[in-house]
Structure 1
């Protein structure tokens, strides 16, 4: 099978979405499939060494300067997709490259499935401080994007519930993102290595190390963990918290630590190398999180693979994941994180090999890829049936008009388009250029086919 993954974010950008896409590509290729990634060009990366990664011209997005938005390259992407005879397109983001994927899939008459990764209602405050887009507007955008897709992957029960509440009607399937177990099992990491890292961080062997590992932004709610620490330390002075990562809220957290007098109990490391994350997981006694914005959270599964239990705010995803007391402790708002930390330290049993082995298979990248492949097969069969029975079918191929295509392209609020255009005038021209270019390229290809 030949698969096209269309995404606005990919490495070297660091995010859960990028990790999920790389994992899927790697595992599908192990199964013998061809996988092409269509994504935004980075500032210093126009062409990858890997020819299956196609970079399209982009500029920084107005609200997230570290993220990119593609403004051109639709005709090139269409040609590449057509030349490689893609069987299916899998979009991973809902913006420029995701729209490209949807348009190309419809023009080629192949299925388009989507993974809904991000709960945008928690992020609209980044755009004009929430004055431009309200949380209640998100459902209309998402519903419009998904309505003509052939299926959507929900990484968790949380996402399924969100899309149901948005009245998304297309087929939905829960498929949690798997992880490459060997990156975090790491049997070569010895007890001496763990002790050396703890000593480097200033954490004694009898201290309880809490680990926060994520992008440091307001919605991650690391501040709630820090505010809980004074009461925790009053009960258990051997508790220390290591905050790994960087982001726009880092300075605020440092100020909070100083204000709370926690300088001897909180260690900020900044960004660390990817290969070092397993060391930090294994050195920690618990991964701790107070975030309520996660639809999945790969750090949770990474921590379990490393053998480290979790303390986190309860949600339906984590209730499914932490189905055994040894995997960690969940709390709700009525209890609070202070008591949760103290209870977890006192009551969490040690992990057993039997339970952990079963859990590792559940969250493995191999199982993830097989589940996604099964969805691809179902989508292809369903598409072939729809085409064969459609009154618009001609010689077994469905001919698409551009009326619906244009309507969906302009489904994004015009105010959002204008705001994005502040980054680059070229972005403002994108919607019309999208339609014009794909019309020109597809008509030229059809004429040549005739």
Structure 2
């Protein structure tokens, strides 16, 4: 099968979406399929660089979200490439520029198109003029109009599935959790070298956070909780891995809490090094409530590092035993949970049932993920029929653009 993945974000940009797409690409290729990435240009990628099976289209930074990019042309070029590649199916991973190009390509080639709804944009509206342009009700209008005409929709979690139902999306929706690599060779674990690099020892109790350092991740709440943790575990260190718009504010927050010497900001790292940082941690901490597929959580679990996080529908499906992690309802409740895991490490104590973690690994395995998506592709191809004429498709696309430009226009009628 020849598969086209259309996405506004891909490596070297660092995000859960980019990781999910890379994992899917690798798993589908392992099954013998040809997978092609249609994505945006990136200043970190030289224009002359040859990237097999990756096609980049002219883009600019998103005006309110500078580390994400928007393609501003390339629809006809993408169509010609897709025809040359004889794509069998289009899989869009964004509701914006490359997503629209993917819809155009599928429409012109008369092939099925599926979409993965990765992001609950209601949690990110503060990036767009501090939430003054698009309101939460407008997100439903935009999402519903974009997904109109899709052959099928992939939801990474039950939580996202229920969001799509609330949005009244008409296309069939299936839940396929994003998977990650669960089998790691011993050579991939370089955590021993990180102790020296960071000035730590194997006896140091370590809380770790890995991911984009953004305000919606609520890392400031974890910092405040960690300040309290130090009263019970004074030798503990909090290692924050990643970069983003909230970093300077978090550094100031750590200083104001007088815990600057106990907090290490590592910055952005190579993706291949993330497993070593998960292994370095005795517990992974998060106060984020914006996760729809929580790749950092499941990556932590594969590294045998328990998770302490805020309860949500997604997390309830994931964490159900102390060996996997602990969920809390409020940020201040992170404190006793973090202390529990750090003190267990110091005492050499195993919490919960190891079998619970082992049973979960199959569900989050990248191979399970890849097979689930391929099975969905087959269903999409079987049920696809071109019952929408070109004029109707163009009218729907125009409606989508209008809903994005005027997101309040129909809220009262929905």
What SS does the aligned partner of 1:277 have? helix
Aligned residues: 402
Gap change, CA 1:332 and 1:365, over 3 Å in 2? same
> Which residue of the partner structure matches residue 35 of structure 1?
35
> Which residue of the partner structure matches residue 253 of structure 2?
256
What is the deviation of 1:271?
1.4
Distance in 1 (alpha carbons) for counterparts of 2:388 and 2:176? 32
Gap change, CA 1:352 and 1:47, over 3 Å in 2? farther
What is the deviation of 1:109?
1.5
> CA RMSD, aligned part only?
2.3
Structure-1-length-normalised TM-score: 0.84
CA contact (8 A) 1:47 1:55 kept: no
What SS does the aligned partner of 1:412 have? helix
Distance in 2 (alpha carbons) for counterparts of 1:414 and 1:382? 29
What is the deviation of 1:335?
6.5
What is the deviation of 1:177?
1.1
CA contact (8 A) 2:233 2:343 kept: no
Gap change, CA 1:334 and 1:240, over 3 Å in 2? closer
Distance in 2 (alpha carbons) for counterparts of 1:217 and 1:5? 26
CA contact (8 A) 1:212 1:243 kept: yes
> Which residue of the partner structure matches residue 19 of structure 1?
19
Alignment of 1:287-306 (within 5 A): 287-306=284-303
Distance in 2 (alpha carbons) for counterparts of 1:233 and 1:77? 54
Gap change, CA 1:102 and 1:48, over 3 Å in 2? farther
CA contact (8 A) 1:223 1:253 kept: yes
Q: Deviations over 1:213-261 (max 9, x none)?
A: 1111100100001111222222232322111111111000000011100
Gap change, CA 1:266 and 1:177, over 3 Å in 2? same
Distance in 1 (alpha carbons) for counterparts of 2:388 and 2:254? 61
Q: Deviations over 1:25-76 (max 9, x none)?
A: 1111111111111111223443552342111121221112222111111111
What is the deviation of 1:305?
1.2
CA contact (8 A) 1:307 1:351 kept: no
What is the deviation of 1:264?
2.3
Gap change, CA 1:221 and 1:247, over 3 Å in 2? same
> Which residue of the partner structure matches residue 391 of structure 1?
none
What SS does the aligned partner of 1:325 have? coil
What is the deviation of 1:116?
0.5
Larger radius of gyration: 1
- Pick aligned residue for 1:247 from 244, 252, 260: 244
> Which residue of the partner structure matches residue 53 of structure 1?
54
What SS does the aligned partner of 1:411 have? helix
1:181 equivalent to 2:208? Answer no
Greater mean alpha carbon deviation, residues 83-92 or residues 43-52: 43-52
Gap change, CA 1:197 and 1:84, over 3 Å in 2? closer
What SS does the aligned partner of 2:108 have? helix
CA contact (8 A) 1:151 1:171 kept: yes
> Which residue of the partner structure matches residue 370 of structure 1?
371
Distance in 2 (alpha carbons) for counterparts of 1:197 and 1:399? 56
Distance in 1 (alpha carbons) for counterparts of 2:188 and 2:107? 49
Alignment of 1:13-412 (within 5 A): 13-43=13-43, 44-46=45-47, 48-182=49-183, 185-188=184-187, 194-333=191-330, 336-345=333-342, 349-350=350-351, 354-383=355-384, 386-387=385-386, 400-412=389-401
What is the deviation of 1:340?
2.6
What SS does the aligned partner of 2:372 have? helix
Query: What are the ranges of 5 or more consecutive residues in structure 2 without an aligned counterpart?
Result: 407-414
Greater mean alpha carbon deviation, residues 404-413 or residues 153-162: 404-413
